[in-house]
Every structure is written in structure tokens, then in C-alpha cells.
Structure 1
């Protein structure tokens, strides 16, 4: 039996989804299915029932999960301890898509060229990054400071404001800055409710007495911009997206609202891991906001 089988079982049970387990482990769904079939064959039991919504544990699967959880936790702890003895330590780093796209690529090349091994896993929200850190699935993460909890170590990297992204010719496109009252009557394009920009903007807008009218919800940030470009609505995004928006000919106007900001930190499971990642990635160079 292999450790990968146990990890595939753990994630499938946790998310009740083979595809989600594959995403979390950076594997394919067929690989996850194969691992679970191998476990079931080894013990001659059915661990999951397949449903239209995903998978559900059988009674045997629930019992197996209870017994295997401390085993996997111990194996993860052993793996983390052994990393300390490696000549060339490797880390698993999580990141928000916007930070990865705009900040990390050059640093990752330098890091790997120096002989260090690093794996990057992208998560759509800081809440997911925090959970993966707490579960031990990540060593560190580049995430919103507002989501750091508990015993996680963190160090501030930079803060940024938000921008309103408007289509060409929009009545507000030539403004130097905008307030939340200026956006009261607009239609918006956002991601699903778990989108952090969507949630943060909506919460602050409610203090101004309105709920943003969301005309379209999409999955990817680039889809926001294409839909803004064709006039479906406007969107609100972190400053990091300014260059991407302007490449599409869109207006990117700062929102003058002190509460509508985010601070990106490097968070880690321990101060030792965090300090090493901070030094190796040369993230101290981000003390000012990234270049546009």
C-alpha cells in the first residue's frame, strides 16, 4: 500500500468529490479513482458510494477514515521533520491567482535555479489557503492578512487599494478616483459569492445603503475583464489587475474608500518555515506595491 492512496482517500472524503480531491493534490481525477479502487481492493470493502453530487462514505469508509486520519497526520509530520535535514529543502507554497500571476514567476525561476525545490498550488480564496495551511497541506501561502488565524506565522508584504474597472467610453472612465456612492447605480460582473473582492465590496457598499446589483457571475478573473469590455457591467478588483485591465483598453479608476484595501502577507505553519521562505523568495523586495 502507498501513502498516496491514503491521501487520496482523505481528500475525497473531506470534499465528497473526486475532482476536488484531484485539484487539492495536483493529480488527475482518474489517478484519485485508481488510488481509491486499490484501497478498496486491498481491504475488500466499498469505501465510497458514487452519487450524482459526488461521493459519500460507506459505513466502512467512515470507520476507515477515523482510523487512517492519525496515520496520515503522523506521516505528514514525519515528512515535515525530514525536510529539515535535506540539503536542498523543498516547500509547498500556496498563492492567490492574482499574486501568483503578477508577483511570483520571476522569483520562482530564481529560486529553482538556486537548486531549491518549490511547488506552488493556486487557491481561489484566502479562506482555502488558510485551511490548507492549518491542515498541513501547505508550508506557506501568499494570502490576504484578514484571513490569518490561530497560530499561523505571518509577515506583511504589501498593501493595495481596489480599482473600478470600466468599459471604454463609460461615463466615469475619466475620473481621477471614485467613491462608493458613485457606483450605486451600476451593474456588476463578479465571481461567485466566495470571491473576496465581491464579498469585501458588497459588505462596504451595504454601509452606504445599497446592495451591488450583480448582473453576471463568472469563474475566472480574465472573464471579468472580457465581460466588462463588451459592456455587460463593471467590476471591482485589486490594484494588481490594473495592467491587465488596461491592456484590454479598459479604464481602471482607483476607489477612494479607506476600508476597501487588502494587505498581502506571507503566512506559514511556523516561524521557522516562514522565515526561510521569506529569505529564499526574496519577498522583502515587495515592501512597496508591485509595479504597474
Structure 2
């Protein structure tokens, strides 16, 4: 028996109208009517008497109504009892530190309330995060959307703007935003190859046919803002990183370009599981 048919039947009985019930359930009038006819055929009874004013339960319908409510309540209780025992109760999520801090830590309580025991695995680059997923070392990733393997499902959480970070006394610090042309004349402090933001900037400068002046290349384990504070140049960082920045010697301004952003997404090799976690995180 399809429990969705029972839900439709109960809603119709409650609303005393197939039209109102179908609207409340966000399905078509035709689809709900087919569900009700299917139930009547399955039990070989008439469930409703129909009139221009709506529908009323028959004696058989009243019996099914009470039994269906009890059955759905029992199924809901059973699902709650089995949640902690499911294999998917224990999940390993790979992420990079700034994204995990912004999106995962705040969602841990919701995940735990749904019976999930979460282990967060940190890596310094997006490529490393997706490698863990493809190699089966992580169940999910919460990271920047990356060039996807065909077997990976992903769902977007949010989009983050890029900001130019510079010392307070920098000549561009007084502006509301920084253009790519203005940025091209600045010494850049960027993470090493493999950084997705660096790859995006490289493409943006190439499209604009402007040079990108990288003067300092920083390893993923190093604190990039330390180089900026000490006068090595300016850098470009995403919103999640900016939200955790507490230096009173630096300022940040939006990079004004249509491609100056990154998309944060949940990715998994199992679409249904990925969608479930996305609903809890997003």
C-alpha cells in the first residue's frame, strides 16, 4: 500500500473536498482523484459520497480514516525509533576550515537531532576534499562547487562574494569597491596552484586581457593575512573567510566583477542522502 495515498485520503476527508485537498498537498486534482480510486479498488469499497458541495465519508471510509491515522502514527513512531540505528546515522563530512566553520558547525545540532553522528574531516584545498569523496573516505562534502565527476550529485547552499583585503593605509582602502582593472595593478598575495579562487581570478584576468601580478605565493597551511598586514600586497578572499577576520589593521572591499564569487554546495555519491543533508544544512 502506498502511504502517500493514505495521506491524500485523510486530507480529502478532513477538507471534505478533493479540490481543496489537492491544493493543500500541492498535487493535481486528477492525481489525487486517481489515488482515491486506487484505494477504493484495492479495498473494494466506496470511500466517499460525492456531491456538488464536496465529499463525505461513507461507513467504509470512516473505518479506513481511523485505521489510516493510527497506521501513519505508528509508522512515524517506528521511523523515529529506527533513526539512531541506521547505517547512515554515522556520517563523515569533508570540508575546508572556513566553510566548515560557517556552514557545518551551526548545523551540527540539527544533524544530531535527526540521529546523525557527524565527523568533520578537514582538508586545506577543495581538490583534496573532493578526492576524499571519490575515494570513499568521506560520505559527503560541504565545499566550493568544483568541476564535478559524473557520479557526483551536488546541491547548492549559497553563493559568496569575493573581497579584496588590504592594509588600512592602502591607496584603494577609501573606495567602496574594487574593479578588476584596479586590482591588476596591485601586487597579489595568493594561495598556491590548486586554489579555486586563484583559478577563478586567473580566468577573469585572462578574459579581460589584463596581467595578474602575483608577487607572493602562500602555502595552504600558512596565514595569508599575515603577509598582507606586513606589506607584501593585497589578497582576494571569499565571504566566509572575511566573516572570521578580526584584524584592525586590514580593510576589505567587494571585488566588482560578475564572476567574483564562489558557490558553496553539498556533494555526495548518493543523491537521496545528499539531498537530506542539504535540507538540514541549508
Pick the TM interval, shorter chain.
Answer: 0.5 to 0.7
**In 1, distance between residues paired with 2:221 and 2:183?**
20
- Look up the match of 2:170: 170
- Look up the match of 1:153: 153
- Look up the match of 1:207: 207
1:238 aligns with 2:248: no
- Kindly state the Cα deviation for residue 193 of structure 1 after the two structures are TM-superposed: 1.1
Asked whether the 8 Å contact 2:124–2:221 carries over to 1, the reply is no
- Look up the match of 2:219: 219
1:248-287 equivalence runs, <5 A: 248-279=248-279, 282-284=280-282
- Look up the match of 1:32: none
**In 2, distance between residues paired with 1:153 and 1:87?**
20
Unaligned runs of 5+ in 1: 1-82, 285-292
TM-score for the superposition, normalised by structure 2: 0.64
Q: Which has the larger radius of gyration?
A: 2
1:48-197 equivalence runs, <5 A: 86=86, 89-112=89-112, 116-197=116-197
**In 2, distance between residues paired with 1:140 and 1:243?**
24
Asked whether the 8 Å contact 1:246–1:252 carries over to 2, the reply is no
Asked whether the 8 Å contact 1:245–1:251 carries over to 2, the reply is no
- Kindly state the Cα deviation for residue 247 of structure 1 after the two structures are TM-superposed: 3.5
**In 2, distance between residues paired with 1:168 and 1:225?**
13
Aligned residue for 1:111, secondary structure, equals helix
- Kindly state the Cα deviation for residue 272 of structure 1 after the two structures are TM-superposed: 2.1
- Kindly state the Cα deviation for residue 147 of structure 1 after the two structures are TM-superposed: 2.4
**In 2, distance between residues paired with 1:246 and 1:164?**
15
- Kindly state the Cα deviation for residue 146 of structure 1 after the two structures are TM-superposed: 3.4
- Kindly state the Cα deviation for residue 137 of structure 1 after the two structures are TM-superposed: 1.5
Unaligned runs of 5+ in 2: 1-82
1:208-244 deviations in whole A, cap 9, x for unaligned? 2233222222224761111111211100111222233
**In 1, distance between residues paired with 2:159 and 2:212?**
24
**In 2, distance between residues paired with 1:155 and 1:146?**
12
Higher deviation after alignment, 109-118 or 179-188 = 109-118
1:12-27 equivalence runs, <5 A: none
